[in-house]
Amino acid sequence: MKLTDNKVEKAKTKNKSYKLSDGKGMYLLVTSKGNKLWRIDYSFNGKRNTYSIGSYPTIPLGDARKQLLEVKKLIEKGVDPIIYRKTSKETTLQNTFEAVALEWHTKFTAIWSPNHSKRVLRRLENNVFPWIGSRAIGDIEAPELLAAMQRAENRGAHETAHRIRQNCGQIFRYAIATGRAKHDISAPLIGALPALKVKHHPSITDPKKIGALLNAIDGYEGTFTTCCALRLAPHVFLRPGELRKAEWSEFNLEKKEWRIPLERMKQDSQHIIPLSAQALKIIAELHPLTGSGKYLFPSIRSTSRTMSENTINAALRRLGYTKDEMTGHGFRSMASTFLNEMNWSPDAIERQLAHCERNGVRAAYNYAQHLPERRKMMQSWSNYLEQLQNT
C-alpha cells in the first residue's frame, strides 16, 4: 500500500528503526532517533544497492517519487544511479566559479611574476570567492559580479573594483573556451563604475629648474648612498621601488646595461636599462662602498635590507623641494616629457618607461624591444641632463 502525506507526517519514532514502503523499491526509513529518510533499494549488474534521496520534510513525498522515476530511467539505460550522481557532483564542482578561476590562475602563473600571481589570487579570495565562488560559472549573472565590484568601490578600493572586473572577464572567457560558460558577463559592466582618476606625480619640467635640481643633488650633504641614488635617478628614470632595490648582480658593466628581473617589475616582465656613460660613472663611484654587498643602496641600519621607500623623497625635501614640486617618481615624468619633445620613438620611450603591457604574454617577450634605439636615447638623455647642469 502506497504512502500518503498524512501517514509520512505522523510516522512515530520507535525503539528500533523501521521502514514504511511506498513500492517499487522506495521507502521511508524512520530511525530510532526520529529522522525520516527516503531510500531506494535497487539491483544493478546483479548487486543490491541503496540510493539515498534525502530527508523528510525537506524532500516531500511527491518529490521523492519524482527522484524514484529518474533512478528507474537511469537503470533502464544501463547507468548506475549512485555512480551517475557522484560523477555529476564532481562535474558540478569542476564548474564552479572558484574551480574555473583556480584552473585559469594555475595556467597563467607560469608566465606571471610571483608577486603578480599572488596579487591576483588574493584579490579573488578576498573579493569574489566568498560570494560567487561556489556558484556554477554558467549560472552567474552580471548583477552578481557588479555587487562584488561595488563592495570594493564602497570601501574606497576603486582600483581593486576595476581589477575585479578585468580578472573575472578573463576567467569567464576562459570558461567559454573550455565549454563551461556561454557569455562573458563582465563585458556589459564596462563603464558601470566611475573611471579611475589618472595619478600625476609632481615633476620639474622647466630646463633651468632641472639644471638647478641636478646641481642641488650634487651638493647633497646626506649619506653618500642616498646622494648616488639621487644622482642616478634622473638618468634611469625608474620607479622609486625599482631603483632602491637595485642589486649588484643585476648589472653587466661590460655590456653597459642593468637587467631587472620580472619579479621586481610592475609590468611583470624583465626590464633592460641601457647605462649611459654618466650613469656608469655614478655606479663606479658607489661600488667601493657597497659593491661587496647585495644592494647598491642598502639601509643605513642593515646591509641586508634596502634603503627606506621614503629616503629619496625625504632627501628631496631636505634639498628644499616640496611634495608638490618634485618626487622620486617625478623623474619619470621629466624624462617622458622631454624625450617626446625630442622626437624619440614613442614606442622606445614607453618601453624604456616599462609601462604596463595589457597583454601579459606579449609583455613577457617584449622586454628587449627597440633596444638599439633605447641605448642611443639613454645616452642622449644623459648628455642633455649634463648640459642643463653645466648651463
Could you give the residue numbers annotated as active site? 239, 266, 329, 332, 355, 365
Using alpha carbons, select from 300, 51, 332, 364 the residue that is nearest to residue 204.
332
Nearest Cα to Cα of residue 166 among 100, 120, 110: 120
Sheet holding 257-260, edge to edge: 251-252, 257-260, 271-274
- DSSP letter string, 2-47: ---HHHHHTPPP-SS-EEEEEETTEEEEE-TTS-EEEEEEEEETTE
Cα distance between residue 44 and residue 79, in whole Å: 9
Cell of 171: 576567467
Bridge partners of 71?
none
Question: In this structure, are residues 176 and 185 in contact, taking their beta carbons and an 8 Å threshold?
Answer: no
C-alpha distances out from residue 375 to 64, 217, 258, 348, 369, Å: 76, 25, 12, 10, 11
**CA–CA dist 190, 289 (Å, integer):** 52
Q: What is the maximum alpha-carbon separation in the chain?
A: 108
Backbone φ/ψ region at 369: left (φ over 0), alpha (ψ -120 to 50), beta: beta
How far is 1 from 22, CA to CA, in rounded Å? 7
Rounded Cα distance between 149 and 130, Å, is: 13
